[in-house]
Structure 1
Amino acid sequence: MRTSGVRARIGLVTGALLALQLGSLVSPAYACGCGAMVHGPGTRLAVRQETSAVRWDGRSEQIVMSLTVDGNAPKAAWIMPVPHRATVTLGDRALFSELEKATAPVHKDRDYFWPRDGDWPFTRDHHSVGDAAPAPGAAAPSVGVVGRERLGPFDVARLTATDPDALRDWLAANGFQLPPALSTELRPYVDQKWEYVAIRLAPASGDGPLTGTLDPLKLTFPSERPVYPMRLSRLAKTAQSLKLYVVSAHRMEPESAIGGAPPEVLYAGRVPAEWGELARFAGTSTDAPKGGTPYLTAVSQSFWQPSAITGDHELTRTADDAPFQRVIYTDHLMRVGGIPAWLLTVGTGLAAMATTALLLVRRGLRRRRVVVPPAPVVVPPPLG
């Protein structure tokens, strides 16, 4: 009975924190399923974008998160649930820029014959997007704060999930007022003995509002299966969007849509060994030991009704490692010597038709020519 009460308290406490942040997102918003922001009274803070990279090697999982925030809060706390005891380090911003480059669509030209809207005799250049070308850890005891470190501008505390007082005390010690209990959405995490990483955020300059893209953080924890927490996003009041990069030994995909639109694959392919930070993250750099996680998959997904989210994203291997890359086509009207090919073809055809018609008319006229018989010769009668 006592254990049940503790679990209920932690579920209410942490659920309130998450509801406070997720309810403040504006549309279009980015899924903040892995964490929640808590800021001081009288201030506002919104997560405008969250981009995450997940690496899973069959034994452990890494999640690197880059948050872009906006508002007037001078400081905030970010609470993130994790399935096992996690270590936290600073990430490298270069990882996300390289991920963007690696998964960007390729651009190709293609010609079309007949004029379209925008071409003479219509009117504008026309661009179209073509079809994409294939191109265990045991449960931790209730010990409260289990770790504390300073990482750049971040003050990181690692807390157990079974002690609500540890979370409340940590927030109070760092100047954050615990909001009223509004939800029990975190109770499933509590039942599974998940823990939390609580991070105090502050501007790098030391004063002014907390705004812009924050330094990325990397969390590493044991994991027998890759999972990306999404259940908490069901508290959001506006549509959510998720962009997720997955680095593993093979091409991966979400096991189900968990209540959202079908996930869309943006890219699938092997990570080149020369790709700097991305190669180091994947373990495919030339100075890395053999093995690693050489396959990169990028997916995006929309959640038009966040309340319909049914759980976390469990990632699974696809049937094969077929590569995939989006292709953006730039269409060009076919020309010959600067003249639209269709116009030359149509003009030549019309000329041929006119010539044929003229010949047919002339032939018909010759057949219908009237032959005038000679005048009859009148022979006068003989004279008397």
Structure 2
Amino acid sequence: MKRRILVLLFALLATQVGSLVNPAWACGCGAMIPEGYARIGVEKETSVVRWDGRTEQIVMRFVVRGDAPRAAWIMPVPGRATVELADGAMFGELSRMTEPQERTRHYFWPRERDWPFSSGSRDGMVGDAPAAGAPSVGVVGREQLGDFDVARLTATDPDALRTWLESNGFKLPDGLATELKPYVDQKWEYVAVRLAPRQQGKKLQGTLDPLKIRFDSDRLVYPMRLSRMAKTPQSLGLYVLADHRMEPGSPIGGSAPKVTFAGTVTAKGAPLAELTGGKPVFLTAIDQEFPEPDRIDGDHELRATAKDTPYRRTVYHDELLTVGDGVPVWLLTVSAALVALAAVFTVRRGRRRRTSPDRA
């Protein structure tokens, strides 16, 4: 018995040590890498994507958890990119634009919580290329943006980023070089970001400041391939601003993308109006879950739908149909029916008495 307990304790200890030696890390549309033995994970990735047919702008915001004081993040991009801090207020404006509309739905007969059974009401929800001979790694720009140290890199082989990461104190996760190869073959470039809070002792937790990445692209692409290395389920939210309603070409290994809003909007707040140029645009809000990230097999390529069909979720509040001071219609109807039946019965009974012969 004692031996079994010792074996069990040793197994638990080995599991905990293993989690430190191989720290858990997750990634959004890029790779999120903690420093040393620290841990970091992306719980939610929300992005605003603006595409006008020539230029794509991505404003990304991560909600992270873990104990890492510093981390690195890598995102492949199809062209030369610029990076700057963004105003997170645009996410609040978009959330208000896309919130469900509320409708009241009446029902006739009382339900479980209505009189005479009980009281109250129940609500329900119904949702309907580097030149030959160039170095393998090229730094084309580097900026300090708040707590972010941003480097824009070119690379000519799958291992090009390893040198940059290791020289900055980060260990490249096993397999990342392999996942980068398709981007190298397409001559994509990279945005590499060091997340290092300037406040001493501060951990990378909660909602991070958003970053805006801008690059030229004749197609709307949202890089997702590196997310296949995540060790935990991933959640993606996209606000797509374009000339038409947009949809992913495929689920790329995740659950079916869900459209939560589609319609023409005009931005009123400064950060969002700056992104749209103050002009009406078609907004498509898309949510998607990736329960098994290792099944992700490519990047999201979004295309215009056949029609710009608007859509908005509806939340129905079910209420008992009443009149006046809250008198249930069913009660009035039943009462009227009973009165009518009583009247008919009285009339028929009177007729029978008048027509029946007198008894001797």
TM value normalised by structure 2: 0.84
The answer to whether structure 1 residue 173 and structure 2 residue 161 are counterparts is no
Structure 1 counterpart of 2:273, from 262, 269, 279:
279
Partner of 2:85: 90
Q: Secondary structure at the match of 2:163?
A: helix
Q: Runs of 5+ in structure 2 lacking a partner? A: 1-21
What amino acid does structure 2 have at the position aligned with 1:225?
R
Paired position in structure 1 for 2:244: 250
Q: Look up the match of 2:130.
A: 140
Matches within 5 A, 1:270-349: 270-284=264-278, 294-337=281-324, 338-349=326-337
- 1:50 maps onto 2:45 in alignment: yes
Pairwise CA distance, 1:172: 2.3
In the TM superposition, residue 146 of structure 1 has moved relative to its aligned partner by 2.4
Q: Is the 8 A contact 1:33 1:231 kept in 2?
A: no
Answer whether contact 2:43 2:235 (CA < 8 A) is retained: no
- 2:231, 2:69 → 1: CA distance? 25
Cα distance in structure 2, aligned partners of 1:130 and 1:315: 27
Change (3 A) 1:182 1:55: closer
Distance in structure 2 (CA, Å) of the matches to 1:165 and 1:299: 34
The RMSD of aligned alpha carbons is 2.4
Pick from 121, 124, 148 the counterpart of residue 125 of structure 1.
121
Give 2:123's aligned amino acid. Answer: H
Write the letter of the residue equivalent to 1:127.
D
- Which residue of 1 is the match for residue 347 of structure 2? 359
Render the CA deviation track for 1:212-270: whole Å, top value 9, x for unaligned.
Answer: 21111111111010011222333344443221010112221112222333322111222
Secondary structure of the corresponding residue to residue 300 of structure 1: strand
Structure 1 residue 168 displacement after superposition? 2.1
Q: Residue 297 of structure 1 aligns to a residue in which SS?
A: strand
In 1, are the aligned partners of 2:31 and 2:73 still within 8 Å (CA)?
yes
- Deviation track 1:306-344 (CA, whole Å, cap 9, x = no partner) reads 343332211111222232222212222121232111111
Residue 192 of structure 2 corresponds to which residue in structure 1?
Answer: 198
* Separation (CA, whole Å) in 2 of partners of 1:154 and 1:47: 17
Q: Number of matched residues? A: 333
| 2:140 maps to amino acid | V
Describe the shift of the 1:116–1:240 C-alpha distance in structure 2 as closer, same or farther (beyond 3 A): farther
Cα distance per residue 1:20-65 (max 9 Å; x no partner): 88x645xxxxxx4411111122211111211011111111111110
Rg larger in structure: 1
Spell out the pairing of 1:21-40 with structure 2 (5 A cutoff): 24=25, 32-40=27-35
Instruction: Give 1:175 deviation, angstroms.
Output: 1.9
Q: 2:146 aligns to what?
A: 152
Runs of 4+ in 1 over 4 A off after TM superposition: 163-166, 365-370
Secondary structure, counterpart of 1:350 in structure 2: helix
Q: CA deviation at 1:166?
A: 4.4
Tell me how far apart the structure 2 counterparts of residues 307 and 73 of structure 1 sit (CA, whole Å).
Answer: 24
Which amino acid in structure 2 is aligned with residue 140 of structure 1?
P
Cα distance in 2, alignment partners of residues 309 and 368 from structure 1 = 89
Amino acid of the structure 2 residue aligned with 1:329: Y
Q: Which residue of 2 aligns with 1:116?
A: 111
Structure 2 counterpart of 1:43, one-letter code: A
CA distance in 2, matches of 1:121, 1:365: 39
Distance between the aligned counterparts of 2:330 and 2:107, measured in 1?
A: 10
Change (3 A) 1:298 1:180: closer
Deviations 1:127-147 (A, max 9, x none): 122455xxxxxx234541222
In 2, the alpha carbon distance for the partners of 1:116 and 1:257 equals 41
Residue number in structure 1 paired with 2:228: 234
Contact 1:70 1:210 (C-alpha < 8 Å) held by counterparts: yes
Q: Is the 8 A contact 2:75 2:223 kept in 1?
A: no
Q: Secondary structure at the match of 2:209?
A: coil
Distance in 2, matches of 1:315 and 1:183, equals: 26
Q: Would you say the 8 A contact 2:231–2:293 is kept in 1?
A: yes
Gaps of 5+ in 1: 1-19, 26-31, 133-138, 285-291, 373-384
Letter paired with 1:50: E
Identity of aligned residues (%): 56
Partner of 1:382: none
Mapped to 1, the partners of 2:235 and 2:159 lie a distance apart of 33
SS at match of 2:256: coil
CA contact 1:266–1:298 (8 Å) conserved in 2: yes
| Aligned partners of 1:129 and 1:327 also within 8 Å | yes
User: What SS does the aligned partner of 1:209 have?
Assistant: coil
Structure 2 CA distance for aligned equivalents of residues 211 and 179 of structure 1: 21
